[in-house]
Amino acid sequence: MRNRAKAAVVAASTVTVVALAGASQAVVQEHSDRMVPVTDGAGTGSGPAAERPLSNDCSGGHVTFTFDDGPGRNTPEVLDALDGLGIDAVFFWNGRAVEGRESTVARAVAEGHVIGNHSYSHPDLTTGVLPDGSEETVTAAWLRGELQRTDDALVAAGAPDPALYRPPYGAVDTRVDEVAQELGLRLVMPWGLRAEDNIVDTRDTEGVTTQQIIDTTTPRLRDGTIITMHDGQGQATLNSIAALQAIVDTMNERELCATADVRENATGRVLDTYG
């Protein structure tokens, strides 16, 4: 169980604080979660198998690793690394990416990971703008389609019916969330507005180095921390894989284990703030 009393007194001072401007607007953090094409040639075997897996008594609590945008060509390498390090994680996957990678979905499920919904085609669900710049009209039916088609693709590939969703770019509003809730999906944000939200966006898709990912993440490791990485990307994914050992080393120092159970209130309170 998580030690919330302990967590409450641990300062987390290195978080990026997002300005609370435009309180009536949908929440979009421009830097977060850009779609970067995965080029052939990525995934050429980054790093050795894990040498120092999680091994402690969990007295410090639990951390949840999350990976977005897959399944992709680098996802098997992520799964290898997680297996070696003893990490159960949560994957937020796009329905359109599942076709042809059903075996990866089945493998992730078999290895104890949880699969959540990251929409079908990775649009901004609040504006309807797709990664290619085209735009859909945002209606309840369109939103429902983006989420339901993804659930259907994941279930067809062997995953349990998803109970969690993460909106692309963290772009969400009450209209999006109401449709998601109708489908039984609970919001898990990729970042939080405040340090105490305890959601660490590694910004791995923004060209940062492995060391920067480590430096962003390790100071904030404590009970309840949610870490956002990407498995459905190219170099970003490889950099995150390479960061895992140092993160696990710190978790062992702090007696932290990994869990694929996402704590309650993983919303970053964005809906409370923006409505």
Which residues here bind Zn ion, judged by CB under 5 A? Answer: 33, 68-69, 168
Instruction: Name the residue among 46, 44, 98 with its Cα closest to residue 70.
Output: 98
Residue 191: count other Cβ atoms within 10 Å of its Cβ: 24
Closer by beta carbon to Zn ion, 96 or else 269: 96
Count CA within 13 A, CB hemisphere, residue 225: 30
Residue 194 CB-density burial (10 A; 0-12 exposed, 13-18 middle, 19+ buried):
middle
Based on CB atoms, which residue is closest to Zn ion, 69 or 77?
69
Q: Which is nearer to Zn ion, 168 or 192 (CB)?
A: 168
- Cα within 13 Å of Cα(221), Cβ side: 27
- The residue type found at 258 is A
Cα 29 → chain centroid: 15
Nearest Cα to Cα of residue 78 among 243, 206, 258, 259: 243
Residues whose CB falls within 8 Å of the CB of residue 22, separated by 6 or more in sequence, listed in order: none
Query: Are the CB atoms for 187 and 165 separated by under 8 Å?
Result: yes
Structure tokens at 31: 């830097």
Give kind and range of the element (H or E) at residue 227: strand 226-230
Q: Which residue has the tokens 């490889």?
A: 238
Q: How would DSSP label each residue in 249-273?
A: HHHHHTTEEE-SSPPS--STTHHHH
Peptide bond between residue 71 and the one before it cis (omega within 30 degrees of 0)? yes
